[in-house]
Amino acid sequence: EEVMDQATLAAVVRLVLKGSTVSITMGPSISEAEKHVGLGELQKAGVITDRELRILTITAGRVTWPSLPTPGQWLESALQRLAFLVAPQMKQVSELEQAMQSAEATADLLTRSVGMSSSLPPRALALGGCVLGFISMRALPAEQARPKDVPSSLW
């Protein structure tokens, strides 16, 4: 019920517009548009802003801007390149497909549980998920994935 009320819908529209690559100066301001469609009272009371903040809190601020490739898109690109470079023999195709599915599932899990940030961009999530997925399928030894600056005792 609350999902479909005017304040929530207005908050979603605000978030979409704020995350859009379209310039906001290409039309009326968000406030003017809200007043025009009869949301002035909700706007004055701060209800729309509260809903907007609540949506951001619920989603933990996890948004993907249209201009950024998602971790899944980064992973797909990396896996396509890998499949091309490896050129597996017929008996290896199913093993490679299983490893790729594991990488996709792991990258998805990593994205959902950790989320993107400036310190962990989509590309890093995708490559991290790929490596973890390959390690889980034993397609890559964990020791080979260890960063050089991390001691093996810590790894």
Q: Please state, rounded to an integer, the average pLDDT across all residues of the chain.
A: 78
User: Which range among 4-18, 70-84, 140-154 shows the weakest confidence by mean pLDDT?
Assistant: 4-18
Tell me the per-residue pLDDT of 33-87, one tens digit each, with 9 for 90 and over.
667 667 777 766 788 888 888 887 887 766 555 556 778 888 888 888 888 887 7
What local confidence, expressed as pLDDT, does residue 25 receive? 57
Burial class (CB in 10 A: 0-12, 13-18, 19+), 28: exposed
Confidence band for 3, pLDDT divided at 50, 70 and 90: low
Tokens of 95: 């093993």
- Whole-angstrom distance, CA of residue 43 vs CA of residue 41: 5
What local confidence, expressed as pLDDT, does residue 54 receive? 85
pTM tops 0.75: no
Say if residue 104's pLDDT is above 80. Answer: yes
Q: Which residues of 29-46 are buried (b: 16+ CB within 10 A; e: fewer)?
A: ebeeebeeeebeebbeee
